[in-house]
Amino acid sequence: MSEQVAARTNAHPLDPLTPAELAQAVALIKADERFGARMRFVMVNLLEPAKETVRAFTPGAPIERAALAVILDNAAGATYEVSVSLTAGAVSQFKQIPGVQPSIIPAEIDEIQGVVKSNPDVQAALARRGLTDLTLIDVAPLMAGYYGGDDLPPNCRFLRTVLQFRESEDDSGDAHPIDGLHVLVDLNNQVVLRVEDHELLPIPPERGDFAAHRVSPLRDDVRPLDIVQPEGVSFTIDGWEVGWQKWSFRVGFNHREGLTLHQIAYQDGDRRRPLIYRASMPEMTVPYGDTSLTQYRKNFFDAGEYGMGLMANSLELGCDCLGEIHYFDGYVCHDKGEVETIKNAICLHEEDFSLLWKHRDEVRRSRRLVISFIATVGNYDYGFYWYFYQDGQIQFEIKLTGLVATGAHRPGSESPFGTSLTETLYAPNHQHFFCVRLDTEIDGSANSVVEVDTVADPIGESNPYGNAFYTRLTTLATEQAAQRIIDPFAARYWQISNPNSRNKMGKPVGYKLLPGENTLPFAHREASVAKRAGYMWKHLWVTPYRPDENYPAGDYPNQHPGGDGLPRWTAADRPVANEDIVVWYVMGSNHIPRLEDWPIMPVATIGFALKPSGFFDQNPALDVPPSMGDHCSH
């Protein structure tokens, strides 16, 4: 099949694939003779053009559009990457990727419900626990991980599942885990491989209600809080391009990463100054710290094993976002090639943010532009927020909420590796590691990273009073040297600079990456998750840009033994000073559950900031006008 598509003139090379383009890609792949009867689509994403092509693009010029699909063949247990030229209407590559397993397909989760519940051994195990009504049993998937010793055939694509009980349709299964019972399921052949019935533990009886109709009484003193912009918003939208307060960037969205930002730049007088070519969060890992047979195999790669874009929510005005909102839809492809539109997947709005600057009676209020999306992956909900400020600052923040994972224990006992929530219910200790990928271009593509530590000057001739301190700058010259961890005692930050562009003082222009809350893994290096998510062991990595190096734990972390991604790439110890570089920042959130995290977890946050540091010659927010109106009059 060859479907010719007219050259597109009203688009940009980085625009996400439209529903029509996704459908076209699916049709072209299905028409290819290599597409088998039991092949399924895992994902279809934009195949982004080369940087040179994007930078050379002028509005209205014809562009080449291409898609990259990941295909799963259930018959052979094989994975394929298929490239499609949408402009030419042809499949350009149909390549098998040996020895890997792609991310989970939502249809697979639906299919295993019946497979597990209809198994006689599972039914017998449930009956031993007094459970015979299968309509009140949920089968919750756990990604297989890699532990060895499973004695499974080669290329076996499988899930480990746990079961939960619900008292009623609106009950939370997380309140009633059927602990000690696990079922391994062959996803390709839809059969139960093994039922592991380790221990007959009590099923916690207390409900975990949090829906409004189940909570009584509700507070009656919460008055309306409205955000009003009578003259409209200050941002502009042109397709997928956003402009606001001298900022400009392009919005992207894909199956794996969700929200992506492209070509972030700042208009400094008559100069458009590039800062970041592409920004995204390509991976996150959640290692659990409990040794029980249920919990120790909980180690999730939420982007690489599930897909953050696939799990994106449709956001609601007044609930997820407040104020004058502009939404972007997201588009994803399902296993049979069905295209889904996720309405309002991305939210864009302005927020008042207290003071921008002040001295005595001269004061300016700050506002920020917020672009965000929220993904629900299993029991957790994650909000991802990029903030742009009038003083040239960028922040990234993650908001964690949802339900803590749970397990059961006997009355009167407690797990040393978790927090008891009720007499028989506990939440295991765990961590969340997020990796942000920043393809920087600070005033141009050749950038360096400089580590900046604050050092106390020894008492002596240069410091006779013992009060002096200075900054020690170390240029990170190679990939091995650029594997760094935070040091709050040195007030450490990392300056991303352009040694070829200078400010008025003759210093390289730059932005500094300021860490926020962070930690390192508590898993030992020998643990499975420590090998599979090797990127967790450093807070900063720097690599030379390569178009095929996008995911810090590798392209296919599902069932992978480990060692891929950043640890493998950086073993080459390539130069990264004054090069086209990618900066990877890793954040770790340590979660020792609290009673207050149940039955639903209040939002916790983690993030970092990028602040101009010698990028401008003075405060770039001097020209922000005083606030108008009665609320700010003297």
State pLDDT tens for residues 207-266: 999 999 999 999 999 999 999 999 999 999 999 999 999 999 999 999 999 999 999 999
Q: Are 41 and 337 in contact (CB under 8 A)?
A: yes
Look up the CATH number of domain 236-632. Answer: 2.70.98.20
Q: What is the pLDDT of residue 169?
A: 86
Domains 19-96 and 106-214 share a fold: yes
DSSP-derived pairing of the beta strands 380-389 and 394-402: antiparallel
Cβ of 160: how many Cβ atoms within 10 Å? 22
Q: Are 484 and 476 in contact (CB under 8 A)?
A: yes
Peptide bond connecting 599 to the previous residue in cis, omega within 30 degrees of 0: yes
Cα–Cα distance measured from residue 409 to residue 237, given in angstroms and rounded to the nearest whole number: 54
Q: What is the pLDDT of residue 630?
A: 57
Of 247, 256, 249, 251, give the one whose Cα is nearest residue 282. 256
Q: 3-state DSSP call for residue 618?
A: coil
Cα dihedral value 491, 494, 499, 505, nearest 10: -30
Of 560, 586, 562, give the one whose Cα is nearest residue 305. 560
DSSP string, 424-483: SEEEE-EEEEEEEEEEE-TTSSEEEEEEEEEEEPPSBTTBTTS--EEEEEEE--BTTTT-
**Torsions phi, psi of 177, nearest 5?**
-65, 140
**Catalytic positions:** 302, 380
Q: What is the pLDDT of residue 152?
A: 85
Q: Are 345 and 314 in contact (CB under 8 A)?
A: yes
226 contacts: CB under 8 Å, gap ≥ 6: none
Q: Are 58 and 12 in contact (CB under 8 A)?
A: no
Cα dihedral value 548, 552, 555, 557, nearest 10: 170
First to last CA, the chain: 72
Domain extent listing, the chain: 19-96, 106-214, 236-632
Of 549, 633, 588, give the one whose Cα is nearest residue 282. 549
Cα–Cα distance measured from residue 143 to residue 304, given in angstroms and rounded to the nearest whole number: 11
Q: Are 512 and 611 in contact (CB under 8 A)?
A: yes
DSSP-derived pairing of the beta strands 425-428 and 258-268: unpaired
Cα–Cα distance measured from residue 404 to residue 426, given in angstroms and rounded to the nearest whole number: 9
Q: Please work out, in degrees rounded to the nearest 5, the angle formed at the alpha carbon of residue 98 by the alpha carbons of 94 and 102.
A: 80
Cα–Cα distance measured from residue 529 to residue 524, given in angstroms and rounded to the nearest whole number: 9
Tokens representing 49 are 């053009």
Q: What is the pLDDT of residue 632?
A: 62
Q: What is the pLDDT of residue 628?
A: 79
Q: In whole angstroms, what separates CA 359 from the centre of its chain?
A: 39
Peptide bond connecting 217 to the previous residue in cis, omega within 30 degrees of 0: yes
Rg (CA), the chain: 26
For domain 106-214, the question of CATH label 3.10.450.40 is answered with yes
Look up the CATH number of domain 19-96. Answer: 3.10.450.40
Q: What is the pLDDT of residue 8?
A: 36
pTM of the complete model? 0.96
Residues in the chain with pLDDT < 70? 1-10, 629-634
Q: Which DSSP letter does residue 211 get?
A: S
Q: Is the dihedral of CA 130, 132, 136, 139 positive or negative?
A: positive
